[in-house]
Structure 1
Amino acid sequence: MGRRMFVAVVPPEPVQEDLAAFLEPRAEHPWIAPEQWHITLAFMSDVSASAEDRLVEGLEAAAARRTSMRLQLAGAGAFPDPWAAKVLWVGVRGDVDELGRLARNVRNSAQHAGATPDGQAFAPHLTVSRLRRVQEQTRWVRVLDTYEGPSWVADEICLIASELGVGPHGRPRYEIVATAGLG
């Protein structure tokens, strides 16, 4: 069995700090720690050691074909929906068409490297809460929907390994394996 990995855009520290400051007075909700915040471009549940080097090379090539983009965290929603939520998220605005093209290039590179990505359609978002059980979350979606963070220029992607349940409080532990610059 290989490693669980994903490719993501990680917001810079000032963006994370701004969102953390927005969530801090609402600490009664189980928020994900800021160091785990990211915008997933592709998720691969089983990357073999032999595919990992090819994956890094492919991601570098995919990133080089795309340009840096201006992004902003704003808006909100829930998966599958606010009335029966398992995940709460903050939306992404800005150059989302370019972000979508980047996600397609990343997924194609992963497939070509032998690290098959999941079949989920790309939906640009940053997960801020994973709930232990499905529950109605319309109030929290309305609160999160008022958030508009600072914009930033995304100029790299990260390949991140994920180990479930071994981080603090039973959370996943993330390790950045490689980064690739855009453009």
Structure 2
Amino acid sequence: MRAFIALLPPAEVGTELDHFLDPRQEALAPRGHWRWTRPEHRHLTLAFLPELEEWREESLVEAGEEWAARTRPVRLALRGAGAFPDPGAARVLWAGVEQSDPGSLESWAQSLRALSSRAGARVDGTRFAPHLTLARAVGRPRAAGHLLQALDTVHTSPWVVDEICLVRSELGQGPGGTPRYAVRHTWTVR
């Protein structure tokens, strides 16, 4: 199965983000150029598992429980914006993440990727950059400087992250051909 380990922003932060994005989406991004992330799909990926055999899921869940028991919550807020790979030819627009304890998410991502690998999952090895995807370019990469100027003022209320989720991703199975996500397990960080 295709899966990822992620943190999900609380509903209040999602509402703040919606209020921020609603007037900007139509005004700045012509239809058909950008596909905005559906609110229920917003997450911050810590480990992407393009291939997790279902029979290995139980050992991953157990390893995650051990990790969560020795991990402390972290306080985050969404702040600022950027683009991958760069603003001149963007494929992804994202909101930045402000951490109360800088480096916490990087450490979490490293640990979760390592334990996933030990549990037998294939783990995507790209460099971790904490972000929440706001939109994806439709078709070819697009210039996004004007969008980033408007999106860079995003700043949500802070929240405490005390849960991490293992999420199954089924491509093309959601509304309009979007992915369908299903939380398979939630670990509570103490």
TM-score by length of 2: 0.92
| C-alpha contact 1:96 1:124 (8 A) present in aligned 2 | no
**What CA deviation, in whole Å up to 9, does each residue of 1:25-80 have, x standing for no partner?**
12324311111001100001011011111111111222222110110000110000
3-state SS in 1 of match to 2:64:
helix
| C-alpha contact 2:24 2:150 (8 A) present in aligned 1 | no
Structure 1 residues 116, 65: closer, same or farther in 2, change over 3 A?
farther
State whether structure 2 residue 170 is matched by structure 1 residue 172. Answer: no
| C-alpha contact 1:80 1:86 (8 A) present in aligned 2 | yes
| C-alpha contact 1:63 1:102 (8 A) present in aligned 2 | no
Q: Matched residues in 2 for 1:83 and 1:64: separation? A: 43
3-state SS in 2 of match to 1:24:
helix
Structure in which a larger fraction of residues adopt strand: 1
Q: Matched residues in 2 for 1:4 and 1:34: separation? A: 21
1:55 to 45, 60, 78: 60
**What CA deviation, in whole Å up to 9, does each residue of 1:98-137 have, x standing for no partner?**
1111111111110110012101111000001011221111
1:117 to 104, 109, 123: 123
The CA RMSD over aligned residues, in Å, is 1.0
Q: Report what 2:154 is aligned to.
A: 147
Q: Matched residues in 1 for 2:70 and 2:103: separation? A: 14
| Runs of 4 or more consecutive aligned structure 1 residues displaced over 4 Å after TM superposition | none
| C-alpha contact 1:5 1:159 (8 A) present in aligned 2 | yes
3-state SS in 1 of match to 2:136:
strand
| C-alpha contact 1:68 1:153 (8 A) present in aligned 2 | yes
Q: Work out the number of aligned pairs and report it.
A: 181
Q: Report what 1:21 is aligned to.
A: 19
Q: Report what 1:39 is aligned to.
A: 44
Q: Report what 1:181 is aligned to.
A: 188
Superposed displacement of residue 170, structure 1 = 1.1
1:126 to 115, 121, 132: 132
State the identity %: 46
Q: Matched residues in 2 for 1:130 and 1:177: separation? A: 25
Superposed displacement of residue 151, structure 1 = 0.3
2:107 to 91, 101, 113: 101
Q: Report what 1:72 is aligned to.
A: 77
3-state SS in 2 of match to 1:135:
coil
User: Structure 1 residues 20-29 or 4-13, which shifts more?
Assistant: 20-29
TM-score by length of 1: 0.95
Unaligned stretches of 5+ residues in structure 2: 30-34
Amino acid in structure 2 at the alignment position of 1:154: V
| C-alpha contact 1:71 1:96 (8 A) present in aligned 2 | no
Unaligned stretches of 5+ residues in structure 1: none
